[in-house]
């Protein structure tokens, strides 16, 4: 707030000027300016943008006085300044004109100095209540009134409303302190005063939100103004890491309340969300309707939950090999009586913002537990069901106790309720999330990472989070047919999960081709419309009854070995040497081997092949495997006769990892196979981690560049 109150005294009579000046000249809290004519008064205002009050003495400038009042109140820059007029007793007609043109009050000559002091002080104090104490801009109410007056006085001029928002202002206050935040707001306010004051109105609505109304004669003044202010803020923006956003509404209906015009400009800010580089947007009807619907949903959410408008559906999860259901994911739907069925991708982000997601999640958890208990009681087939746990749930003290109480209430083993956490939850407060997730796992809950691959922290998350299952983001399924890179990333994720003893679930599977690809690369489970759309609880119960009882957990899968030799007895000899620790696949030549790999690549951990075979020999097989992205990671051991030195060298150059010479010792063969598989897994994991880490860094750098 200013240390002094500034009063401009306008009088053509020197004795009246002196008398009025004498009231405050010995008081340091007042600063006095003087002007002896309309022209000099306008010049004084132009040089001083902090005038708090104008005292206009009419002596000798009756006509000029009215003209000065008109021009001052017409200009948005000065319209807020209260004006008190001094007039001769009996000049009622002039006083009425002055009041009609916007004068705040009047006093009569001969002047009563005490009365003048009191009326000036009251006028200044009233005006100060209409000013924001930090920036000295109009408050919302005054801005609305002044803008309404501006629009009514200039019916032939087109005006535009701009709504400014300092994006990232909360973080500025948190990291740099309130003084820095205040200085940014004052700097922005000063820019609005300088750039808008002479042609429109401006004000601070609330917090870091500012508005202005300017003429738009050529149609692009608003964009020019935004870029001009943004450029002037460039140094501060770069130093304190914030951005200036602007919503723009071109005023069409002047009868509309100014507050509603501001709302429309504010609505336009919604179109900026998620865009890179674009920091301003124009109002459009669709954006406003979306905003109104969102506010309606927020207002109705608790009532809707009590009225049973939310309901749970289950999307089955299938085993990739047996193609039978082994689980399900709980999904929530909302049937609003007026808005109809609202999509989860619309209402869930809203509820995450206002915290209602916790109540909704807990409702879903209990509905799922009721269903599981009902299936157990009926003796139906029962598979685990996964439920979403939002980051807001995780921050709630004792969330693990809430889940345990549910399991006890419905007498359920914890293995039947799996917990899904989105990858993006890890990116916000990773250490806190790791601690909370670890507590849940210690209590015996199985944890799934949903939408894996959608964020930039995948590798760190895998290293630190105690996760049991990765759910691969469905965007890879959408791009699988058009992007070889997406397929290679999918292969890498599945292999890495296996090496880290995690299972995998692919989401969004819709075609047989996608299923076969995933099965061949070793993905464990499938979720998507290819097998089943989301089912109602009754439909899901019927599915479980059809399936009948069977065991779905605790199966230990043996590593697969593909043995290739045109002599069946030699194949059996090799399998006998390795023992019953493996699951075996056989082929008589390279051509048959490729067919086996095509059908069972996900289950095969190593290939042992003879060199000399009909149709396709071992060399040709190695070359074919190395060219195929699905098979290229599988380690290969070749079998040769002891005298085939050149064959050994050629096989190793083509990519074989080891050579076994005939005749071989079963113990040595068994150990060498184990060594090759272990070495292959270690090398592959290091390579994939390095590659994915590099891509992650590149993606983050690209993202930062786009934001700038």
Q: Which residue has the tokens 């005298």?
A: 643
Q: Cα–Cα distances in Å, from 568 out to 439, 563, 565, 584, 589?
A: 53, 10, 7, 13, 11
Condensed to tens digits (0 to 9), the pLDDT of residues 491-539 reads 888 888 888 888 999 998 998 888 888 887 888 899 999 999 999 999 9
List where CATH 3.40.50.2300 sits in the chain.
Answer: 5-129, 560-681
pLDDT at 296 exceeding the cut of 70:
yes
Band of residue 86 on the pLDDT scale cut at 50, 70, 90 = very high
On whether the CB atoms of residues 696 and 458 are closer than 8 A, the answer is yes
When mean pLDDT is compared over 243-252, 349-358, 541-550, 591-600, the highest value belongs to 243-252
Is residue 11 very low, low, confident or very high in pLDDT (cuts 50, 70, 90)?
Answer: very high
> In 134-208, at which residue ranges do the beta strands (DSSP E only) sit?
159-167, 201-206
Confidence band of 603 (pLDDT split at 50, 70, 90):
confident
Task: Assign 5 a pLDDT band (cuts: 50, 70, 90).
Answer: confident
Measure the CA–CA gap between 33 and 27, rounded to whole angstroms: 14
Instruction: Show the tokens assigned to 442.
Output: 């210690």
Q: What is the pLDDT of residue 367?
A: 94
Tokens of 428: 């916000």
* 584-to-572, 589, 590, 623 alpha-carbon distances in Å: 10, 15, 16, 22
Q: Are 332 and 312 in contact (CB under 8 A)?
A: yes
pLDDT at 551: 47
Rounded CA separation 687/464 (Å): 19
360/630: higher pLDDT:
360
Q: In which residue are the tokens 């605790």 written?
A: 554
Give the pLDDT of residue 83: 93
How far is 119 from 449, CA to CA, in rounded Å?
70
Whether pLDDT at 337 is above 90? no
SS3 letters across 617-650: CHHHHHHHHHHCCCCCCCCEEEEEECCCHHHHHH
The pair of structure tokens assigned to 351 is 């509820």
Q: For the chain, give every residue range classified as CATH 3.30.70.270.
A: 140-283
Residue 668: enclosing H or E segment and its boundaries?
Answer: helix 666-707
pLDDT in tens, 232-255: 999 999 999 899 999 999 998 888
Residue 373 has pLDDT above 70, yes or no: yes
pLDDT digits (tens, 9 = 90+) for 613-659: 988 999 999 999 988 877 888 899 998 876 667 888 898 899 999 88
List CB contacts of 149: < 8 A, sequence separation 6 or more.
73, 79
Mean pLDDT of all residues in the chain?
Answer: 84
- State how far the Cα of 587 lies from the Cα of 577, in Å rounded to an integer: 17
Which range has the worst mean pLDDT, 29-38, 368-377, 417-426, 531-540? 417-426
What's domain 5-129's architecture?
A: 3-Layer(aba) Sandwich (3.40)
pLDDT tier, 701 (very low <50, low <70, confident <90, very high otherwise): very low
61 Cβ contact partners less than 8 Å away, ≥ 6 residues apart: 10, 11, 12, 37, 38, 68
Whether 663 has a pLDDT exceeding 90, the answer reads no
Compute the average pLDDT of residues 123-138.
79
Please give the structure tokens belonging to residue 385.
Answer: 């069901």
530 neighbors 553 (Cβ within 8 angstroms):
no
Q: What is the DSSP string of 12-28?
A: S-HHHHHHHHHTTTT-T
pLDDT tens profile 387-411: 998 878 877 778 888 999 999 999 9
Least confident of 19-23, 91-95, 199-203, 283-287: 283-287
> What number is the average pLDDT over the span 131-140?
84
Return the top range by mean pLDDT from 258-262, 290-294, 346-350. 258-262
- Mean pLDDT calculated for residue range 535-553: 77
Beta bridge partners of 161: 213, 249
CA atoms of 461 and 459, how far apart (whole Å): 5
Rounded CA separation 476/544 (Å): 29
- The predicted pLDDT at position 330 comes to 95
DSSP character at residue 45: H
Q: Which two tokens stand for residue 6?
A: 């500034």
Domain covering 560-681 assigned CATH 3.40.50.2300 in the classification: yes
Q: Rank 224-233, 330-339, 340-349, 489-498 by mean pLDDT and report only the highest.
A: 224-233
User: 233 near 169, Cβ under 8 Å?
Assistant: no
Instruction: Give the helix/strand (H/E) hosting 50.
Output: none
pLDDT at 620: 93
Per-residue pLDDT, averaged over 414-421, amounts to 91
**CATH 3.20.20.450 residue spans of the chain:** 295-547
pLDDT in tens, 554-570: 444 577 899 999 888 88
Q: What is the mean pLDDT of residues 414-429?
A: 77
* pLDDT exceeds cutoff 90 at 666: no
Give residue 1's pLDDT band: very low, low, confident or very high (50, 70, 90): very low
- Tens of pLDDT, residues 671-692: 888 888 877 766 665 655 555 5
Q: Choose the weakest-confidence range: 17-26, 63-72, 73-82, 589-598.
A: 73-82
pTM: 0.52
Please give the sequence-ordered ranges of beta strands (E in DSSP) within 216-256, or none if there are none. 243-250
CATH of domain 140-283: 3.30.70.270
Is 295-547 CATH 3.20.20.450? yes
Question: What distances in angstroms separate CA 555 from CA 454, 551, 558, 582, 606, one per listed residue?
Answer: 30, 9, 10, 14, 21
Q: State the pLDDT at residue 704.
A: 45
Residue 33 pLDDT greater than 90, yes or no: yes
Cβ within 8 Å of residue 281, ≥6 positions away: 246, 247, 248, 268, 269, 270, 271, 272
């Amino acid at each position: 707030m200013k240390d002094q109150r500034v009063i401009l005294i306008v009088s053509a009579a020197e004795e009246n000027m002196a008398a009025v000046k004498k009231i405050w000249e010995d008081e340091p809290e007042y600063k006095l300016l003087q002007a002896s004519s309309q022209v000099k008064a306008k010049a004084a205002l132009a040089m001083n943008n902090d005038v708090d009050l104008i005292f206009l003495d009419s002596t000798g400038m009756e006509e000029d006085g009215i003209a000065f009042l008109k021009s001052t109140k017409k200009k948005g820059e000065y319209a807020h300044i209260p004006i008190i007029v001094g007039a001769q007793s009996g000049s009622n007609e002039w006083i009425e004109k002055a009041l009609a043109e916007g004068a705040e009050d009047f006093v009569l000559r001969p002047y009563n100095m005490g009365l003048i002091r009191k009326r000036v002080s009251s006028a200044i104090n009233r005006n100060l209540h209409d000013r924001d104490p930090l920036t000295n801009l109009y408050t919302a109410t005054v801005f609305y009134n002044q803008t309404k007056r501006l629009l009514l006085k200039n019916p032939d001029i087109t005006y535009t409303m701009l709504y400014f928002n300092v994006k990232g202002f909360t973080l500025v206050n948190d990291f740099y302190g309130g003084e820095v935040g205040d200085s940014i707001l004052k700097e922005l306010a000063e820019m609005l005063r300088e750039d808008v004051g002479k042609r429109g109105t401006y004000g601070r609505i609330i917090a870091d939100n500012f508005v202005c109304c300017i003429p738009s004669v050529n149609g692009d003044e608003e964009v020019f103004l935004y870029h001009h202010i943004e450029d002037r803020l460039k140094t501060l923006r770069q130093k304190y890491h914030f951005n200036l956003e602007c919503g723009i509404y071109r005023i069409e209906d002047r009868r509309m309340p100014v507050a509603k015009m501001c709302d429309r400009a504010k609505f336009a800010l919604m179109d900026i969300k998620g865009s890179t580089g674009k920091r301003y947007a124009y109002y459009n009807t669709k954006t406003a309707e979306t905003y109104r619907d969102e506010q309606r949903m927020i207002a109705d959410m608790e009532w809707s939950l009590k009225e049973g408008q939310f309901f749970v559906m289950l999307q089955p999860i299938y085993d990739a090999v047996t193609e039978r259901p082994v689980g399900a994911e709980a999904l929530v739907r909302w049937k609003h009586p007026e808005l109809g069925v609202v999509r989860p991708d619309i209402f869930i982000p809203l509820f995450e913002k206002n915290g209602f997601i916790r109540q909704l999640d807990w409702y879903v958890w209990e509905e799922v537990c009721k269903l599981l208990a009902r299936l157990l009681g009926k003796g139906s087939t029962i598979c685990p069901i996964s439920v979403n746990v939002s980051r807001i749930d995780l921050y709630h003290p004792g969330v693990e106790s809430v889940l345990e109480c549910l399991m006890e209430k419905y007498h359920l083993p914890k293995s039947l309720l799996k917990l899904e956490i989105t990858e993006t939850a890890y990116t916000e407060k990773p250490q806190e999330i790791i601690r909370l997730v670890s507590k849940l796992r210690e209590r015996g809950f199985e944890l799934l990472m949903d939408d894996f691959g959608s964020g930039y922290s995948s590798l760190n998350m895998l290293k630190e989070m105690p996760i049991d299952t990765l759910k691969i983001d469905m965007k890879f399924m959408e791009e699988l047919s058009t992007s070889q890179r997406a397929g290679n990333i999918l292969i890498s994720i599945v292999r890495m999960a296996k090496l880290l003893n995690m299972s995998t679930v692919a989401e969004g599977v819709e075609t047989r081709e996608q299923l076969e690809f995933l099965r061949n690369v070793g993905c464990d489970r499938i979720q998507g419309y290819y097998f089943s759309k989301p089912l109602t609880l009754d439909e899901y119960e019927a599915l479980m009854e059809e399936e009948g009882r069977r065991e779905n957990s605790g199966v230990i899968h043996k590593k697969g070995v593909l043995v290739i030799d045109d002599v069946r007895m030699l194949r059996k000899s090799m399998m006998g040497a390795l023992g019953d620790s493996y699951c075996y696949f056989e082929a008589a030549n390279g051509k048959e081997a490729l067919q086996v790999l095509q059908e069972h690549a996900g289950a095969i951990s190593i290939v042992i092949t003879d060199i000399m075979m009909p149709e396709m020999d071992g060399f040709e097989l190695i070359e074919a495997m190395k060219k195929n992205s699905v098979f290229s990671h599988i380690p290969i051991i070749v079998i040769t006769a002891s005298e085939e030195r050149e064959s050994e060298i050629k096989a190793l150059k083509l990519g074989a990892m080891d050579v076994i010479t005939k005749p071989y010792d079963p113990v040595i063969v068994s150990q060498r196979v184990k060594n090759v598989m272990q070495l292959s897994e270690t090398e592959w994991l290091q390579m994939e981690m390095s590659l994915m880490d590099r891509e992650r860094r590149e993606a983050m750098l690209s993202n930062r560049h786009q934001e700038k």
